[in-house]
Amino acid sequence: MNKKRYAIIGGGINGLSVARQLLLDDPGVSVTVFEKEAAVAQHQSSHNSGVVHAGLYYEPGGLKARLCRRGVELVRNYCLENAIPFDECGKVVVALNQEELPRLDAIYKKSIANGVPGMRLVDAGELREIEPNCVGIRALHSPHTAIVSYGQIACRIAQDIEQRGGSIRLSAPVARLIELGSRIHVELDSGEVHSEHFDFAIACSGLQSDRLAVKSGDEATPKIVPFFGQYYVIDETFKSHVKGLIYPVPDPRFPFLGVHFTKRIDGQMTIGPNAFISLGRENYDGRRPNLRDVADFLTYPGFWKFASRNVATTMRELKTVLSESVFVREAARYVPTLADVAVTPSTRGIRAQAMQCDGSLVDDFVIRRQGNITHIRNAPSPGATSSMAIAEYIVREVLPKQ
C-alpha cells in the first residue's frame, strides 16, 4: 500500500503544527512543508504578544472557544515536555466606569460557559491585591492566562517534524495548488512544479491565505486586509509596576481591543498594540509601502464599507500611531503611575484580518476543504494559542477519513 503524501503550505506555527499532527497520528505518511522564507516562523508566529489566551471572549460553541481551550492544554503540555518557558502570570480585564460593567459581566458568563478555570469577578480592593498599581471599579481575573514565545515553540516543532521523518523545504514560495484527479501538484512562484505529487494539501499561509486560496480554485472571500499593531517596551526600571497582563473591557462599537499591558516571556513589560491599516501585508518596519498590497485593499469594496462604519475607531487609533505619548497615556488610564514612562519601539505585528464584501470582520476561525485541498482562511487571535488544536481538528475532522 502506497503511503499518503501531504503538502503543507506555510511554515508558521499553524502549518508546522498540522505537519507534526499528521506524523503523530500516522508515522507512515510523507509530509513536506513548503515555506517561502529562509527560516520558519518569520511572520505572525514571531510577531505577536506571546499570550496564551484562556478563552474569555469567544462565543460558546464556536471553533475559537473550543479550539482555544484545547489549544491551551496542548501548548502547556508541549512547553513542559520540551523545557520551553511557560509563565502563568495571570490577566485582569478592568472596568474603569459603570458603563463597562454589563460588558464585563457578559465576558464573565462567556468564560464560564467556555470552561475557563479559576475565573472570578473582583472589586477594586481585590484588583489592587492582584495588580497594586492598577485602577478600576471592578475586574475579571483570569489567573491561568499565560505567556510564551510562539516563535520558540514553532522552531521546536520544526525539529520534531524532521526528527519524525518529515521534510521542510525553505525558500520555496508557493504560487498555487493544482488538483488533477487524485493528485495535487505544488507550483512555486518561479513556475517550477515540485517533482513530487501529493494526495492532500493543507494551506496555512496566513497573510497570503486568500491569494493562495483563490489561485488554487477556492472562493474569493473572505479577503485578507492587513492591520498592524505596534508594541512598546517600557523603561525597565518601571516594569515592576505591572505584575501580569492588564486588558481593557472590549467595546462592541470598536472592532479592535485597544492598548493594554502585556508581560513578555523575557520579563520585559510591553504596552500595545494599537490597530491601524498596514501599508503592506509584511511591512514590519512601517517604512516601505507595498503598492500591490495597498491597491488590493483600496480596490476592495468591503474595506470602504468597513472604514465608513469605523471613523471614530480610525481617529482613536491614528492618534496612537502619530504620538507615543498618546499611546502611553491610553494605557496609563489603567496604571496612572506609568503616565510619563519612557518607551522603546518593539514588536510590530501584522494581523491577517479576514473581511467580507459587506465590510464585516470574520470573527471565528474559517477552515475550508475543497476536494483534497484544505485552506485556513481565517485564524486570528487566538490562532497561535489554538495552533495545536487547529492541527488536531484539521487532521482528525476536516481531512477525509482514510
Phi, psi of 366 (to 5 degrees): -120, 110
- Cell numbers of 269, please? 513589560
Rounded-to-integer distance, Cα 17 and Cα 240, Å: 35
Q: Rounded CA gap, 236 and 341, in Å?
A: 10
How do strand 223-234 and strand 276-277 relate by DSSP bridges? Answer: antiparallel
What distance in Å separates the CA atoms of residue 213 and residue 221, rounded to the nearest whole number? 9
Domain ranges of the chain: 5-47+151-220+363-398, 88-145+223-355
Torsion of Cα atoms, 32 then 179 then 185 then 191, to 10°? -130
Residue 258's pLDDT is what? 81
The domain at 5-47+151-220+363-398 falls in which architecture? Answer: 3-Layer(bba) Sandwich (3.50)
DSSP state of 364: S
- Low-confidence stretches of the chain (pLDDT beneath 50): none
Total residue count of the chain as it appears in this document:
402
Report pLDDT for 252. Answer: 79
- pLDDT value at residue 1: 54
Report which secondary-structure segment, H or E, holds 111: helix 101-113
State residue 231's pLDDT score.
94
The residue assigned the cell 495545536 is 388
Q: Does domain 88-145+223-355 have CATH number 3.20.20.30?
A: no
What torsion do the CA atoms of 154, 76, 17, 233 make, to the nearest 10 degrees? -40
pLDDT of 299 reads 97
Cα 177 from Cα 213, distance rounded (Å): 8
Dihedral of alpha carbons 215, 217, 218, 221, sign: positive
**How confident is the model at residue 402, as a pLDDT?**
64
